[in-house]
Amino acid sequence: MSNSREKIISRAVKEIEDGMNVNLGIGMPTLIADRIPETKSVFLHSENGLLGIGPYPVEGEEDGDLINAGKETVTTKKGASFFDNAESFAMIRGGHVDLAILGGMEVSEKGDLANWMIPGKMVKGMGGAMDIVQGARKVVIIMNHVNKHGQSKVRSECELPLTGSQVVDRLITDMAVFDFTENGMVLREILDGSDIETVRQNTEASFTVDESLRKKEGSQ
């Protein structure tokens, strides 16, 4: 695992609290499942009809019929339940998912999210993300701060098609943690290896810096 991913996932797992029902999106968020401490009672929800996802199976013990929404083989934990797709989305739309951690392609300073397609590239469909970002009680997006060309993915406005408008509560990148509030986008934390000035240089979006972080970093 790259150092960037390691930083993001290590920080993201701290968002998960004891007793939560949590939906982990396809891609990098699925790696969080194996990082949840055993001391926490957490039920992982998959929109294809499973509540109570366990760790990835060991090689040779995979069950091809037991998969998550990303078509990866998984295990179940004690107390897990299975249901149809309609029931799964009723849970989402009914506000029964406490936390959703999803990947992102772009996030805007208003908390808009683009994560389901790149125009001109083949996609299987929009999936369940559009429902999840509207129905989950808290939406956390995890992604690299810049793309492979060095351009900021934290933008003043998203250029890619939106998954949801003003739906992001918290953004975690390999550089920083931002919250989206009534007063705009706020930088809350700096991840190891970065600083406020580096974050500013790599962020197209406008944001303010949390006062406690200013004092900690010695910034004016």
Give the residue, 27 or 110, on which the prediction is more confident. Answer: 110
| pLDDT value of residue 181 | 97
Binned at pLDDT 50, 70 and 90, residue 118 comes out as confident
| pLDDT value of residue 163 | 96
Q: Residue 172, by phi and psi: left (phi above 0), alpha (psi -120 to 50) or beta?
A: beta
Binned at pLDDT 50, 70 and 90, residue 122 comes out as confident
pLDDT tens per residue, range 188-220: 999 998 999 999 999 999 999 999 998 787 644
| pLDDT value of residue 175 | 97
| pLDDT value of residue 220 | 43
Separation CA 15–CA 153 (nearest Å): 22
Query: Of 71-85, 99-113, 133-147, where does mean pLDDT reach its minimum?
Result: 71-85
Mean pLDDT of the 157-174 span: 97
Query: Of 1-10, 110-119, 120-129, 142-151, where does mean pLDDT reach its minimum?
Result: 120-129
Contacts of 216 (CB under 8 A, 6+ apart): none
Separation CA 143–CA 213 (nearest Å): 21
Give the sheet arrangement for strand 106-108, strand by strand. Answer: 113-114, 106-108, 154-155
Active site residues: 47
| pLDDT value of residue 216 | 80
Mean pLDDT of the 79-96 span: 95
Q: Would you tell me how many other CB atoms lie within 10 Å of the CB of residue 214?
A: 14
The architecture of the domain spanning 3-217 is 3-Layer(aba) Sandwich (3.40)
Mean pLDDT of the 146-173 span: 97
| pLDDT value of residue 194 | 93
| pLDDT value of residue 70 | 82
Mean pLDDT of the 107-134 span: 89
Spatial CA neighbour of 132 closest among 189, 76, 94: 94
